[in-house]
Amino acid sequence: MPEFDLIARIQARAASRGDVVLGIGDDAAILRMPPGRDLVVAMDTLNSGVHFPEDTAPADIGWKSLAVNLSDLAAMAATPAWCTLSLSLPQPDAAWVDGFLDGFLALATQHEVALVGGDTTRGPLSVCVTVHGLVEPRGALRRKGARVDDDVWVTGTLGDAAGALRQWQAGEAITPALRARLDRPMPRVAAGRALAGIASACIDVSDGLLADLGHVCRASRIGAVLDVDALPASEALRRAFDRRTVRTLQSGGGDDYELCFTAPKTARLAIESASLACGAPATRIGRITADAGEIALHDAQGVAWSPPRRGYEHFGG
Ligand code: ADP
Ligand code: MG
């Protein structure tokens, strides 16, 4: 099957939006910006065997390739609008592309994102997506902006995706609820938007909580102290691993795609109600300190805790 047949399959299924002047089919897409909005652009690549296990279903690869990009827009408090897709395939496999689109377009529909173009080439399996979102001028959340004594929060639960990966790497049976978090991350788009004007800094947890909060610390020139027993964990994770492993997966494991953000103490009630309203309950896990670049961890008794190794290997990043 030649490349243009694959593109025709993609074009036939991609939904449009009113602000797409010209979508798939020409040399480039034409998009109409609403007046008074800034454009927010993010790109992420997923390589087979690096960013997802080789046995991942095409539909899950499709979902995840868009999800990780929408997660970056979520962390900026942007509203997704459009995306482009670069597909590198070992062979022109129509069944694979159909499966891929099932997952990709299901998530695109949920967030009303139009696929407006891309590129299709032959090569090792690799998927690169660019997403475009909109924000009001100065309405975006950034890594910079956290202040000393701000609370540190995280949405949802941490460690599930890393738990699935650990089971997969050990050749064990993978708990379905954990595998679902690895394969079908839910980008926190509504939560990100709700936090605009409330949070002082924000990042999505793709590489692991400590790594990603570390980026906020460096950008904001502050440090943080976290209560490792306050980190939210799913029932599935607690059932599957001992407490020490749970802590390690939560603090170091990647691929969760939750939002980690900071906010002044005065915002607690606003955050609790806003995060609940969009189905991404937020948990307070620590506070910002003046120790620039330092993240200290302790348990519920106040005893210092350090992870066995930082930067636990994973499929994220
Ligand atoms: P060109 O050679 O001018 O770049 P292509 O044959 O690569 O044209 O692409 C033709 C059209 O199909 C373009 O509109 C392009 O954006 C779109 N397209 C190609 N591959 C993809 C893809 N994987 N997903 C979405 N659109 C695609
Ligand atoms: Mg091209």
Contact between residue 265 and residue 161 where contact means Cβ atoms under 8 Å apart: no
Q: Is the CB of 120 under 6 A from ligand 1?
A: yes
Sign of CA dihedral 87, 90, 91, 95: negative
Instruction: Give dist(CA 275, CA 237) in Å, integer.
Output: 22
Q: Does 74 score more than 80 pLDDT?
A: yes
pLDDT at position 272, please? 97
Expressed in angstroms and rounded, the spacing between residue 137 Cα and the centre of ligand 1 is 31
Instruction: Give dist(CA 287, CA 302) in Å, integer.
Output: 14
Residues 22-43 have pLDDT tens digits of 999 999 999 999 999 999 999 9
- Ligand 1 mutation target, pool 6, 7, 104, 122, most atoms within 8 A of CB: 7
Expressed in angstroms and rounded, the spacing between residue 119 Cα and the centre of ligand 2 is 5
pTM: 0.95
User: Measured from the CA of 27, which atom of ligand 1 is nearest?
Assistant: 3
Comparing CA positions, the residue from 118, 55, 115 lying closest to residue 87 is 118
Expressed in angstroms and rounded, the spacing between residue 119 Cα and the centre of ligand 1 is 5
pLDDT at position 315, please? 52
pLDDT at position 308, please? 83
* Residue closest by Cα to atom 19 of ligand 1: 119
82 strand-pairing partners = 114, 132
Q: pLDDT over 70 for what percent of the chain?
A: 97
Q: Does 264 score more than 50 pLDDT?
A: yes
* Residue closest by Cα to atom 2 of ligand 1: 27
Contact between residue 13 and residue 23 where contact means Cβ atoms under 8 Å apart: no
pLDDT at position 316, please? 46
The stretch 261-276 carries a mean pLDDT of 97
* Residue closest by Cα to atom 21 of ligand 1: 118
Instruction: Give residue 309's pLDDT band: very low, low, confident or very high (50, 70, 90).
Output: low
Instruction: Give dist(CA 103, CA 63) in Å, integer.
Output: 4
pLDDT at position 312, please? 45
Instruction: Give dist(CA 98, CA 94) in Å, integer.
Output: 6
Residues with Cβ within 8 Å of 199's Cβ and at least 6 positions away in sequence, in order, are 77, 141, 153, 261, 262, 263, 267, 271
Residues 206-226 have pLDDT tens digits of 999 999 999 999 999 999 999
Which string of b and e fits 243-282 if b means at least 16 CB within 10 Å?
eebbbbbbbbbbbbbbbbbbbeeebeeebeebbeebebeb
Q: Does 177 score more than 90 pLDDT?
A: yes
Residues 99-137 have pLDDT tens digits of 999 999 999 999 999 999 999 999 999 999 999 999 999
How many CA atoms does the CB half-sphere of 102 hold within 13 Å? 11
pLDDT at position 53, please? 84
Expressed in angstroms and rounded, the spacing between residue 101 Cα and the centre of ligand 2 is 19
- Which helix or strand (DSSP H or E) is residue 117 part of? strand 114-122
Q: In what order do the strands lie in the sheet with 114-122?
A: 38-47, 126-135, 79-89, 114-122
- Mean residue pLDDT of the chain comes to 95
